[in-house]
């Protein structure tokens, strides 16, 4: 991601609690471009693009939505459920559009290890290659996500 005058504005928005009480950067002191580049490198090593992951996440969210509050079977080893959270949240990038705050939980049936994402996470990954900063509430480790999705 290129540094630009707008990047500073975006960084300030990502670190503020204006949209998300915990912010999008967590305790991560790296610049947003560095976070994105590092995560993209991890994904490229694993052979996936953020867009592929986001598409699979959306499919799982859709399947879980149809299960109406129950666990939906995802493949042989996983299940997913929607946690409804009231309200909507806009994307911190400067463009129109906001997202339901609902959360999808994807868990391994055997180990119960789980990963969660919001509708906004799917958008941030698909459109901005952004998995959030370390220790932010909705940070997703790309390697963990790949392991859970495939």
- The least CB distance from residue 76 to Zn ion, in Å, is 34
Residues 6+ apart with CB under 8 A from 26: 132, 133, 134, 135, 136, 137, 139
Query: Considering the complex, what minimum distance in angstroms separates the CB of residue 97 from Zn ion?
Result: 7
Please identify, using beta-carbon distances, which residue of 52 and 127 lies nearer to Zn ion: 127
Nearest alpha carbon to residue 22 among 122, 101, 107, 138:
138
Residues near Zn ion (CB under 5 A): 91, 93, 127
Closest approach of Cβ 107 to Zn ion, in Å? Answer: 27
Cα–Cα distance list, 30 to 13, 17, 34, 143 (Å): 15, 18, 6, 19
> Is the CB of 98 or the CB of 114 nearer to Zn ion?
98
Q: What is the nearest approach in angstroms of Zn ion to the Cβ of residue 36?
A: 13
Give whichever of 107 and 130 is closer to Zn ion, judged by the CB atom. Answer: 130
Q: Which residue is nearest to Zn ion (CB)?
A: 91
Q: Which is nearer to Zn ion, 82 or 124 (CB)?
A: 124
């Amino acid at each position: 991601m290129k540094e630009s005058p707008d990047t500073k504005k975006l960084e300030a928005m990502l670190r503020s609690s204006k949209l998300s009480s915990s912010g999008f950067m967590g305790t991560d002191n790296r610049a947003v471009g560095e976070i994105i580049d590092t995560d993209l490198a991890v994904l490229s090593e694993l052979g996936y693009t953020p867009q592929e992951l986001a598409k699979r996440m959306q499919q799982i969210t859709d399947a879980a939505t149809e299960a109406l509050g129950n666990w939906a079977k995802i493949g042989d080893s996983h299940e997913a459920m929607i946690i409804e959270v009231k309200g909507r949240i806009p994307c911190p990038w400067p463009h129109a559009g906001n997202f339901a705050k609902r959360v999808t939980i994807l868990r391994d049936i055997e180990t119960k290890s789980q990963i969660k994402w919001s509708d906004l996470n799917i958008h941030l990954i698909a459109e901005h290659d952004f998995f959030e900063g370390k220790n932010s509430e909705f940070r997703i480790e790309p390697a963990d996500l790949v392991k859970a999705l495939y």
